[in-house]
């Protein structure tokens, strides 16, 4: 069995049972992000405190890669320091998926990352005021 098949099984599993799927009532930050190439969307919600991501949830309407990457990302960042998460690069996210993706599929994979980083930058900006 090749590594790609193993990774695909992990991605399939996250798509079938996405972790942290849902909505946070009265979140500290929320955002709706759209993939301009297909129109698919993700709504993401954060509970933040003491510089940490206390809770992350999302409702995604998109393809397998976008839902699975949101699920994997949510597991990776839950409970982490905001400053630490802001240091994560797009390549870090793509490496968590473990697949070589073309530019169109990269947009799917990075939809949740883009949403998260926008919210965290806004949070940090407001915290510095």
The residues that touch ligand FES, with contacts defined as CB under 6 A, are 35, 38, 40, 62-63, 65-66, 108, 111
Residue nearest to ligand FES (CB): 108
The Cα–Cα gap between 109 and 105 comes to: 6
CB nearer to ligand FES: give 22 or 102: 102
CB nearer to ligand FES: give 29 or 114: 114
CB nearer to ligand FES: give 44 or 82: 44
CB nearer to ligand FES: give 43 or 63: 63
Torsion of CA 122, 29, 117, 86, to 10 degrees: 80
What's the per-residue H, E or C state across 42-92?
EEEEEEEECCEEEEEEEEEECCHHHHHHHHHHHHHHCCCEHHHHHCCCHHH
Three-state secondary structure call for residue 29: strand
Cβ neighbours of residue 37 under 8 Å, at least 6 residues apart? 104, 107
CB of 90 to ligand FES, least distance (A): 15
CB of 100 to ligand FES, least distance (A): 16
CB of 42 to ligand FES, least distance (A): 8
CB of 59 to ligand FES, least distance (A): 14
The position carrying tokens 């940490």 is: 52
């Amino acid at each position: 069995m090749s590594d790609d098949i193993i990774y695909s099984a992990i991605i399939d599993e996250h798509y079938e049972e996405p972790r942290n799927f849902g909505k946070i009532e009265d979140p500290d930050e929320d955002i709706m992000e759209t993939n301009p190439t297909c129109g698919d969307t993700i709504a993401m919600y954060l509970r933040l405190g003491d510089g940490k991501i206390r809770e992350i949830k999302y409702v995604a309407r998109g393809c397998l890669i976008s839902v699975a990457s949101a699920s994997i990302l949510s597991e990776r960042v839950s409970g982490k320091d905001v400053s630490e998460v802001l240091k994560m690069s797009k390549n870090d996210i793509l490496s968590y998926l473990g697949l070589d993706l073309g530019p169109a599929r990269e947009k799917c994979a990075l939809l949740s990352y883009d949403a998260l980083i926008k919210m965290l930058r806004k949070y940090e900006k407001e915290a510095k005021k």
